Amino acid sequence: MATETLDSVAIVFPRKLDEVVKVVKVVVKRPKKLRSKREKEEDEEVVVVEGIEVERDVSMKFDVFINDEDDAASGPEKTEFAGSFMNVPRKHKHGKKIRTGLRLGITELLEDLGAEDDKSVLVTSVPRYGSDAITIGGVKIEFDS
């Protein structure tokens, strides 16, 4: 159960996206800032959305955005689209829910935002449809070689 704060509001995981929780914003610490060009070529910095639980037979999608700062006033000029998670409905007899994760490379996004020297970034999950069917277990940043 991870807890991160944003403007003194605690975000507790796992977190269900539903009609009440339209958007999940979480400040995520980066493992290392100001990496060399060689380090960036060897290891991609990735945002990991873990413990995604979704109803197998429901169509749903959410988008992930990265902000260069945890300032609530940051606008589109300080935000980059990182990627999407989508579930295509399937009819299977084994289990109604699936549990999976999402890994999105953000090294270039951080460069574009000028956020390479930030200790943390704001990760925003925005449900597009079918949000009642999804739970997010946590968000972190790590390196992928």
Contact 116, 39 (CB under 8 A): no
Confidence of residue 74 (pLDDT cuts 50, 70, 90): low
Report the percent of the chain where pLDDT is more than 90: 37
Confidence of residue 62 (pLDDT cuts 50, 70, 90): very high
| pLDDT digits 0-9 by tens, 14-23 | 888 776 667 8
Q: Taking the model in full, what pTM does it have? A: 0.83
Task: Say which amino acid occupies 71.
Answer: D
Radius of gyration of the chain (CA): 16
Q: How far is it, in rounded angstroms, from Cα 42 to Cα 20? A: 41
| DSSP calls for 40-82 | HHH-EEEEEEEEEEEETTS-EEEEEEEESS--TT--GGGEEEE
Q: Per-residue pLDDT averaged across 30-39, rounded?
A: 81
Q: Per-residue pLDDT averaged across 80-98, rounded?
A: 85
The full set of domains in the chain, from first to last, is: 3-144 (2.60.120)
| pLDDT digits 0-9 by tens, 124-134 | 998 888 777 78
Confidence of residue 37 (pLDDT cuts 50, 70, 90): confident
